Structure 1
Amino acid sequence: MNLEQNKTNAIAFYKMAYEGQPKKAIELYVGHEYIQHNPDVADGLQGFIDYFDRMQNEYPNKSIAFVRCIAEGNLVALHTHQTWPGNDQYVTMDFFRFDKNGKICEHWDAIQQIPKTAANPNTMY
């Protein structure tokens, strides 16, 4: 496994899909299957494309920043900061599994909205 290449590919894949090109992201970075664990997204390649096409149509002005990227074995973890319309902000942690050919084949995530106030002065990222 090429950890640095997997990290680069995970970021490029997520950024491309998030910014409105999920079909191209699938073509470039995903293998023959895509196992989805997010309950809001249908399983498989087409489920991924449909979800991100819908998000781009409904929220074209959203943005994403990649705060951390960690790789181990065949997994890459991304820690992101997302800003959506109305200044709604979210922290996500996404995990991607890569197959033996270096293609993404599985995804898990956790999403938390950044509250307006916090009990401490530390950021969530």
Structure 2
Amino acid sequence: MNLDQNKQNAIAFYKMAYEGNPRKAVELYTDGVYIQHNPDVADGTEGFIAFFERMQVEYPEKSIEFVRAVAEGDLVALHTHQVWPGNDEYVTMDFLRFDANGKICEHWDSIQQIPKASANHNTMY
């Protein structure tokens, strides 16, 4: 496994989908198998595509920053900062599993809205 390449591919895959071209992301970075663990997204590549196409239509002004990527074995973890309409900010952590051919085949995530106030002065990044 090429961990650096997997990190680059994970970021490119997620960014491409997030910015409105999930079908191309699926074509480039999967072999057609995509196991989805987010309960708000249907399983498989078509579920992934439908979700991100809908998000692009409903929220075209959303933005994403990739804060860090960590790779180990067949997994890449992405830590992102997302801004949605109304300046709603979210921290997300996505885990992508790669198959033996270096293609993304499985996804888990955790999403948390960044609160307006914090009990400490540290950021969530």
Is 2:44 the partner of 1:44?
Answer: yes
* Runs of 4+ residues deviating >3 angstroms: none
Equivalent-residue separation in structure 2 for 1:61 and 1:32 (angstroms): 29
**Aligned match of 2:53:** 53
1:105 is matched with 105
TM-score normalised to the size of structure 1?
0.99
The 8 Å contact of residues 26 and 32 in structure 2, kept in 1 or not, is answered as no
Deviations 1:87-125 (A, max 9, x none): 000000000000000000000000000000000010001
Matched residue, 1:10: 10
What's the RMSD between the two structures over aligned residues? 0.4
* Structure 2, unaligned runs of 5 or more: none
Aligned pairs, number: 125
Partner letter of residue 93 of structure 2?
M
1:15-42 Cα deviation digits (max 9, x unpaired)? 0000000000000001230000000000
Give the match's secondary structure for 1:70.
strand
Scaled by the length of structure 2, what TM-score is found? 0.99
What is the distance in 2 between the residues matched to 1:101 and 1:118? 43
Runs of at least 5 residues in structure 1 that lack an aligned partner in the other structure: none
Identity of aligned residues (%): 78
Return the alpha-carbon distance in structure 1 between the equivalents of residues 111 and 16 of structure 2: 19
